[in-house]
Structure 1
């Protein structure tokens, strides 16, 4: 078990008591991969083990998740730290407990003649997250630094929703694509390969630590007022991840939730999910996040980071902060 996961257990400041279990309301995207973890918590009754009542609200979109949190319809959602940081500069004092790290990269066909980003000149690159997608912005910064090559101006960026993006590259309409990790896993299963990985992009900027991407987001004041509720939820979340990290049987049980088209896709999804789990988080990861923020702010501007000029103190949650 990693030091990061152990630290969750150590953050309990009060013993479990025989009072009514606190209720924790979690909002999740209806078809999001976070449902895999929620299914493990429910099946193994980890909420009962850690003495809280888990209420799950299915939401239609990322925007719906934000609205649910902001309107106090839920206590916790899954989001990224850039969004949280932006909210804090708007005096909405949310905080994030990071759970997964930035992975993936730019996919190309294994049979293509493309050897570097410069070979994409004049070609179409598919991007799933829009013009300020974090991976796309990091790729642009990487390309400028390593090759002096402006991807945004020298290629034809093509934005599409993740399923369509995969269809476009599979039928040869795109030379390369950046997609959400579970769609990237499907490309990998179909024989596609990375031209550039996230790790390579970060290394070019001297960043060796694993940076967080997503995490559990909640109101800082709510967490301070309900320390048992948030701690017990995080303990259940931790145990669910440990089960998924180690149990083949559990993956077979939740296989219908993955909607894997074949065995290769199933294996790729399982492998990439495990690879994306954040195993450490401390000072060096925070410093790395600060470096990444600076790169993204330079590339994406206020459209991405809002009023934020740096990482807000308290962005990453710790008990009694």
Structure 2
């Protein structure tokens, strides 16, 4: 009897060690209030990390730039950022690749009772712009205004550049007439009664581009992905499952909602709605084709300073897994 029990325990330990050996550690850098953090938490709550053979090693980053530094320095394997940064790095010879994650673009917000109804109405208005003068959302918005209305927002409006919270406050105080900001700040403003003038999907439509194209994605070195194919595949599968759970299960959402830093029910509802609307539905060649169009447009709107030496979208920006 004792021998049988020892044999049984040894079998359990052997299975445990085998299971642990199958777990591949993935070091991922995230922002504390970012949506990738929501998905990492949802993965862990549902056991989707272990079920897909992944052990998550998470580093909380101080900001987007800190993530790029961590990735370049080798202290993390993956971060979330935009494909334009990847294109610039590949133009310089780096081997970063991008897997589409979110289709969220910038959103222009105005007060609910504002007389501003179209981009043409932004003439002579103070427009807050999150990011700098070469931010893709700003360049695309300028391009759409120029193309449809012959309006040069850079000279015929008054752009005010700054950080999202500061500019949101200025909009609330009436010191700005409109604000181009990130989707989650727009969702908060919308829940407080502000109105969307136009969002990035509408801008892309105006410019003849598929509105479902990716804006943000997971970024990693191509060499790392080739050496850790199973880990990357497991992570992506786990994140797909977490994303589905957050958008279909109230219980799954309730567990991660505090990570947003919000407690107001109406704001949480707006954030969840916005997050789910940004899920990627088009992948593969369609994303690359859209990115090539947008890159050409941005180069035209922003010039060589935008492209930083790359005249065309470099090959390999979007990850294409080699056949096994």
Alpha-carbon distance in 2 for matches of 1:30, 1:257: 7
Q: Which runs of 4+ in 1 moved over 3 A?
A: 16-20
**Structure 1: gaps of 5 or more residues:** 1-15
Match of 2:13 in 1: none
Bigger mean CA deviation after superposition, 86-95 or 42-51:
42-51
Alpha-carbon distance in 1 for matches of 2:132, 2:103: 20
Match of 2:174 in 1: 172
Match of 2:261 in 1: 259
Match of 2:164 in 1: 162
Tell me whether 1:215 sits opposite 2:217 in the alignment.
yes
Q: What are the equivalent positions in structure 2 for 1:295-314 lying under 5 Å apart?
A: 295-314=297-316
Q: CA deviation at 1:102?
A: 3.2
1:140–1:151 contact (8 Å) kept in structure 2:
yes
Give aligned pairs, total: 306
**Structure 2: gaps of 5 or more residues:** 1-17
Q: Secondary structure at the match of 2:215?
A: strand
**What is the aligned-residue RMSD (CA, Å)?**
1.7
**Bigger radius of gyration among the two:** 2
TM-score, normalised by the number of residues in structure 2: 0.90
TM-score, normalised by the number of residues in structure 1: 0.90
Greater per-residue helix proportion: 2
Any idea what the Cα deviations from partners look like across 1:48-100, whole Å, max 9, x if unmatched? 11112110011111111111111111111111100001100111110011111
Q: CA deviation at 1:301?
A: 2.8
Q: What are the equivalent positions in structure 2 for 1:72-91 lying under 5 Å apart?
A: 72-91=74-93
2:202–2:211 contact (8 Å) kept in structure 1:
no
Alpha-carbon distance in 1 for matches of 2:53, 2:205: 42
Q: Secondary structure at the match of 1:136?
A: helix
Alpha-carbon distance in 2 for matches of 1:202, 1:240: 28
Match of 1:233 in 2: 235
Match of 1:9 in 2: none
Tell me whether 1:243 sits opposite 2:235 in the alignment.
no
Q: Secondary structure at the match of 1:149?
A: coil
1:209–1:284 contact (8 Å) kept in structure 2:
no
